Amino acid sequence: MSRTLIIIGIVLVILGLLWPWLQKSGLGRLPGDIALERENFRFYFPITTSIIVSIVITLLFWLFRK
């Protein structure tokens, strides 16, 4: 369990350092992400981004388990 938490922590630190470049790549504003903006209301649901991040995390866990 501690090894998993350490790996998750390292991945989060790496993502935090790469965040400026990830924003410029368009991650978070992909086709399929739902964004509604009205006068006093803003709703954003990144469904496509969530699916891609989920697939990447699943692949990473699968690779680390082997």
Domain extent, residue 55, equals 2-65
* Structural domain count, the chain: 1
pTM score, whole prediction: 0.59
Q: Give me the count of residues in the chain.
A: 66
Is residue 33 within 8 Å of 49, Cβ to Cβ?
yes
Tokens for 4, please give them.
């998993």
C-alpha to C-alpha distance for 53 and 55, rounded to whole angstroms:
5
pLDDT values of the chain reduced to their tens digit, one per residue, 66 residues: 788 889 889 988 998 898 788 777 777 778 888 989 999 999 988 898 889 889 988 998 888 887
Q: Write down the residue that tokens 């978070």 correspond to.
A: 28
Whether 45 and 33 have beta carbons less than 8 Å apart is answered as: yes
